[in-house]
Chain A
Amino acid sequence: MSVEIKVSGETVTAYLSGELDHHSARAMREAIDNAVELNMPSRLVLNFRNISFMDSSGIGLVMGRYRNLKKTGSELCITETSEQIYRVMKLAGIERLAKLEGR
């Protein structure tokens, strides 16, 4: 599990990798929240290209970030989800909270 942060202008992109489950979610969440606090972006992008597995803990992570960003009017964007991850996201109706891009 790791999170790589890249900042470009008003956008913070978090490149997530490994398996996203209840076990790994906390460390990922902390890494993302630290970067958001530090950079105050108007847009947070969560990149799932290197996530090999995700269960509903990933939905909790996305919903939690959405709630935080909403307070400052920032936008949440989710990119490069695999078919398996996309199906879990769809089940939760995540497209109502965040932009799903670049599958």
Chain B
Amino acid sequence: MQINNKFSMNVMAKSANEGFARACISAFAAQLDPTLEEINDIKTAVSEAVTNCIVHAYKEKIGKIYISGELCENNIIRIKIRDAGCGIENVEKAMEPLYTTVGGERAGLGFAVMQSFMDTVRVRSALGKGTTIVMTKKISRRISLNA
């Protein structure tokens, strides 16, 4: 797939960076001229993935979260969120709605939100090594003014 633009960054796994990551991805995605709803979908999915890194991957320490975005052909945005944390023992189980290992006030809906708001969500994880989430979404082409 042809890539027209790309950014990558890493942030410390601190909850203050959840909002920062959302702001970055929405500024980057703006280049595809998305609707407000599409921007909100992307922000929500990224917020879930980044929060997972903080709450689950780096439970005991503050590691790094690697975030990248690509604008691909056909108006598709591809977002990758990676951590080098504890990894997920059973990805299938983790992706079940309402399943959570931490309880308390976490709803267990992170992956369900990502899947519902993005077109594709792929999860790769290795215990003790970390987790990578790759999500894509096709942005509708709005009718241009001079069309």
Give the B-binding residues of A (Cβ under 8 A).
19, 21-23, 25, 29, 53-57, 59-61, 63-64, 83-84, 87-88, 91-92
Please classify the interface of chain B as helix (H, G, I), strand (E, B), loop, or mixed, using the class held by over half of its residues. helix
Q: Find out whether the CB atom of A91 lies under 8 angstroms from the CB atom of B113.
A: yes
Please classify the interface of chain A as helix (H, G, I), strand (E, B), loop, or mixed, using the class held by over half of its residues. helix
Give the A-binding residues of B (Cβ under 8 A).
15-16, 18-19, 22, 37, 40, 43-44, 47-48, 51, 54-55, 104-107, 109-110, 112-113, 116-117
Q: Find out whether the CB atom of A25 lies under 8 angstroms from the CB atom of B105.
A: yes
Q: Given A21-B19, A55-B48, A84-B40 in contact, is the A63-B55 Cβ separation under 8 Å?
A: no
Q: How far is the CB of B145 from chain A (nearest CB, A)?
A: 25
Q: How far is the CB of A29 from chain B (nearest CB, A)?
A: 7
Find chain A residues with CB under 8 A from B110 CB: 56
Q: Given A22-B51, A60-B106, A92-B107 in contact, is the A55-B15 Cβ separation under 8 Å?
A: no
Q: Find out whether the CB atom of B105 lies under 8 angstroms from the CB atom of A60.
A: yes
Partner of A19, one of B19, B48, B107, B113: B19
